[in-house]
Structure formats: C-alpha cells, structure tokens
Copies of this chain bind each other. A is one copy, B any other.
C-alpha cells in the first residue's frame, strides 16, 4: 500500500501489469517535487521549471517529455487534489445516515483529511485566487462540483428534501465556504499545536450549528420554478 502512488495508479487503465511505467513514475516525481516546494512559502505561479526539475532530481529538458508547460503540471495537481477531496466526502457519505451529530463528524473528518493531504490542500488554497487563470477556473469548477455532491447528500435529510434547487445551492455554498475557511485556518495554524487546532474546530462547529439553526426558519419558494 504505497502511500501516495495509488492516487496515480488509478489513472492508468491501459497498463495491465500493476507497475507504473518509468514515464508515469517521473511524472509523479515532478508533481511531488512541486508540492514539496510549495510548502516552503512560494506559490505555484512563482515556481520555476528548473526549480521543480532540480527538486525532482532531473535535468530541465526532461520536463518537456511530460508536460508542455508549467501550467499543465498545475492542471494535473488540481485534478489530483480534488480526487482526494472527493474520496473524503465519499467516505463521510458511506458512514450511514445521520445518527449522531453530523456536524461534529463532518468537521472531524475534514480536519483529518486536511492533515493527511496537507500539501494538496495548500496548493488549492494558494492557487484558488492567485497565479494562472486557467488553474483558477479549474478550481472554481471543481469546487462547484463538490458543492453539487454535497447537495445530493443533504437532500436525504428530512426537511431539506422539500427545498428548491436555488435554496439548496445557497445552503451548500454557505457550507462549502465554511469548510474552505476551516481548511485554510488549519493550514495556517502552527502544526502540532493541538490546543490551537481544537479551538479552530470548536469555532467551526459553532458556526455550522448556527447556520443549521436557520434551516427551519427558511421558506423555500418552490413554486418560483
């Protein structure tokens, strides 16, 4: 169970022998090198091709065997990062219907996954509004898709299944924004500071509880269609 490469191995469907080809391996190496460099303060857009290849232990020209430009590498990172995100929400969904406090469990899993995929989340946070515009729109699209997923999940709740699409979208964007904010706070908090992190979690849960309080009071205009 290699810790990272499985996210890649899913990608190649036509390679019958489970081993990744050499190309795929260094391709992955480039992605990991970029993520590693991103941790150290810089943003992806201010990351040079040579820097990445150097970190990946490869000569600059070899880069072109895999990507035409740095922007393409970024695209790969976007899709990969959101693959892990989707996996997360899938795991939450599979834990059955709301029995305990859903909010607490959701926040907990979110935090756990942010830690497990720290660099991917960092990349997303940094590129969401900075750097290459193509990456920006990709990220926005993926976030919207994530919100849609969340909507189908929420539709299984007692009251919400009667809501119109517009109201649903409003609620999900509100929650997605909250979750994004949580992830960013976790990333900015000092690592291995359990107290600070607990405080963040506490506040996040209070926020979500507060939001949920508005649900019964909302009158979704279903006839407006």
Residues of A within 8 A of B (CB): 41-43, 45-46, 125-133, 136, 140, 166, 170-171, 173-174, 177-178, 181, 184, 188, 203, 206-207, 210-214, 216-218
In the assembled complex, the Cα of A43 lies from the Cα of B133 at a distance in Å of 10
Please determine whether A131 and B46 come into contact, CB atoms closer than 8 angstroms. yes
Please determine whether B45 and A43 come into contact, CB atoms closer than 8 angstroms. yes
Please determine whether B207 and A173 come into contact, CB atoms closer than 8 angstroms. yes
Give me 12 other A-B pairs in contact (C-beta within 8 A), A136-B188, A174-B210 excluded.
Answer: A41-B133, A42-B45, A43-B45, A43-B130, A45-B45, A129-B129, A129-B130, A170-B203, A211-B211, A211-B214, A214-B214, A217-B217
Partner of A207, one of B43, B130, B170: B170
Please determine whether B188 and A177 come into contact, CB atoms closer than 8 angstroms. no
For A211, what are the chain B residues with a Cβ–Cβ distance below 8 Å?
A: 174, 211, 214
Partner of A43, one of B41, B131, B173, B203: B131
In the assembled complex, the Cα of A46 lies from the Cα of B74 at a distance in Å of 16
Please determine whether B140 and A130 come into contact, CB atoms closer than 8 angstroms. no
In the assembled complex, the Cα of A154 lies from the Cα of B126 at a distance in Å of 32
In the assembled complex, the Cα of A207 lies from the Cα of B188 at a distance in Å of 27
Partner of A46, one of B46, B178, B203, B206: B46
